[in-house]
């Protein structure tokens, strides 16, 4: 029921989902089989992410909290001399720990014979993708 309302709101153009993914893990090939003479792969994975719902017209946050990346200095060896302090994105500013969710996805991919030599996809395209579940991380 909630999923149906969410899809209706996003498809009607009233709201837009803004998702920031912090981590992708547990990528697994769950199934590989031939369907209608085409290879199909079913892949499962989970992410740690924060989802913000925005008003599509104004861009104002309707649900959730504004998230922007923060920088954390770290020291790393450099080929040009002594160690330098570098900055890389790490975590989020503006999101409480309880806003981060573990979201479990399942994705079905099919090999498209029309574009087998595409240098990016090699003929694979996402047939269907969905969320299996979500749990508050912290």
Residue with tokens 């090939």: 29
| Distance from chain centroid for Cα 17 | 11
CA-angle at 134, arms to 130 and 136, nearest 5°: 160
Handedness of CA 86, 88, 91, 92 (dihedral sign): positive
Provide the whole-model pTM: 0.64
In this predicted structure, what is the pLDDT of residue 87?
A: 43
Q: What residues does each domain of the chain span?
A: 2-68+87-136
Average pLDDT over residues 19-35: 92
Q: Among 17-26, 33-42, 67-76, 108-117, which is the least confidently predicted range?
A: 67-76
Fold exhibited by the domain 2-68+87-136: Nuclear Transport Factor 2; Chain: A, (3.10.450)
Residue 116 backbone phi and psi in degrees, to 5:
-70, -20
pLDDT, the chain, mean: 75
């Amino acid at each position: 029921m909630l999923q149906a309302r969410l899809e209706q709101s996003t498809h009607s153009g009233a709201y837009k989902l803004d998702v920031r993914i912090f981590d992708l893990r547990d990528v697994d090939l769950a199934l590989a089989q031939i369907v209608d003479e085409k290879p199909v792969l079913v892949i499962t994975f989970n992410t740690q992410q924060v989802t913000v719902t925005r008003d599509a017209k104004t861009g104002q946050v309707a649900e959730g909290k504004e998230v922007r990346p923060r920088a954390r200095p770290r020291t790393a060896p450099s080929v040009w001399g002594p160690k330098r302090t570098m900055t890389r994105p790490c975590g989020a500013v503006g999101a409480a720990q309880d806003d981060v969710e573990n979201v479990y996805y399942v994705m079905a991919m099919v090999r498209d014979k029309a574009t087998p030599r595409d240098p990016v996809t090699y003929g694979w395209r996402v047939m269907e993708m969905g969320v299996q579940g979500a749990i508050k991380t912290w």
